[in-house]
Amino acid sequence: MAVVAIIPARYASTRFPGKPLALLLGKPMIQRVYERVRQCQDLDRVVVATDDERIREAVSSFGGEVVLTRADHPSGTDRLAEAADILGLQEDDLVVNIQGDEPDVTPEMIEALIAEASRPPAPPMATLAFPSNSADEYADPNVVKVVRNAHGNALYFSRAPIPHRRDEANEPTAFLKHLGMYAYRKEFLCRFTQLTPTALEQAEKLEQLRALEHGYTIRVGLSPRETVGVDTPEDLKRLEERLGA
């Protein structure tokens, strides 16, 4: 079984066009992500998947492996599945999905994700969460929360504050903050993209709910640290200030 990280990266972002090529401490952000992911010793291969020739050229220029995919994918997961096919991955290979706007990702986080995806009984899909006590994030619909069962499998993901504390309004708002990185068996990744979108997925705008509604298990491991994604130029500036401090 091979373990392959694929980093989807697209140029056309509504809030931050050209985001993968934006400079972070003098390097394109996609290069920062690629170099961080490459530090994980559990990976056999790291590949960027993009639909944009400018990103392809940038990745090639720093010596990274890149595949060019179609431009009409409805989501990064669909791009991931096409890339896995282009690369000729086997059905039982593990595909690790690290977003191209996560330059703060660490090897330890990827190792934790791979460990959860490999822990018996191996699930078709795994992800990470980070324990948080932030009252602001608990109430923020842009921060996705997850609740797990006793076996570490997802019960539900939501933009709403979950779990709701009916009788503990003054207690700390401890919750699990979902981090948007996944690991899939290649066979399931391709099957997932063929599943019919579901009502909860469309209501919450959370693609992972499709797997739960269709009855598949999502293992949720705990990340050793939090990561900060980049959605806007302001996010990039704050991250650059923190990393450069």
Residue spans of the domains in the chain: they are 3-244
pLDDT 10s digits, 33-82 = 999 999 999 999 999 999 999 999 999 999 999 999 998 888 889 999 99
The pLDDT value recorded for residue 243 is 76
pLDDT 10s digits, 150-182 = 999 999 999 999 998 887 666 668 999 999 999
Radius of gyration, CA atoms only, the chain: 18
Q: Are 135 and 173 in contact (CB under 8 A)?
A: yes
Among residues 152, 211, 147, 213, which one has the least CA distance to residue 184?
211
- In CATH terms, 3-244 corresponds, of 3.40.50.20, 3.90.550.10, 2.60.40.10, 1.50.10.20, to 3.90.550.10
Please state, in angstroms and rounded to a whole number, the distance separating the CA atoms of residues 125 and 189. Answer: 8
| Residue 121, both tokens | 């009984």
Q: Are 219 and 127 in contact (CB under 8 A)?
A: yes
